[in-house]
Amino acid sequence: MRTKRYKRNVESTSYDLSISDMMAALCCVFVLICVTVIVRLTEQKAEFQRQNKKANSYYAMRTDLYEKLMETFKDEVNSGKVSIDEKTLTISFKNPEVLFEMNDTNLRDEYKQTLNDFFPKLVKLLYTSTYTVDGVEKPIKDEIEEIRIEGHTATSVKLTAKENYEKGMETSQERTRNILNHCINSEVINKKVPNEQMNWIKKNIAAIGYSNSRHITYPDTNIENQDASRRVDFRLLTNATNVLTEIENFKE
Which residues 6+ apart lie within 8 Å of 212 measured at CB? 152, 153, 154, 155, 164, 165, 168, 229
The series of mean pLDDT values per 10 residues for the chain, 252 residues long, is: 50 58 73 74 61 70 91 92 90 76 83 93 95 85 93 88 90 93 95 96 95 89 85 88 57 52
**For the chain, what are the domain ranges?**
59-251
- CA angle, 146 as apex, 144 and 152 as ends, to 5°? 135
What pLDDT score was predicted for residue 103? 75
85 sits in which H/E element? strand 82-85
Pick the CATH number of 59-251 from 3.40.309.10, 3.30.365.10, 3.30.1330.60, 3.40.50.1380: 3.30.1330.60
Measured distance CA(222)–CA(161) in Å, rounded: 16
* The pLDDT value given to residue 122: 97
Contact between 165 and 212 under an 8 Å Cβ cutoff? The reply is yes
DSSP secondary structure string, 174-239?
HHHHHHHHHHHH-HHHHHHS-HHHHHHHHHSEEEEE-TTTT--B-TTSS-B-HHHHSEEEEEEEET
| pLDDT of res. 63 | 87
Query: What SS3 state is found at 91?
Result: strand
pLDDT attached to residue 191: 95
pTM here? 0.74
Q: What is the pLDDT of residue 48?
A: 54
- Among residues 63, 181, 197, 64, which one has the least CA distance to residue 121? 197
Which pLDDT belongs to residue 182? 95
The whole-number pLDDT of residue 52 equals 62
Q: How far apart, in Å, do the first and last CA atoms of the chain sit? A: 69
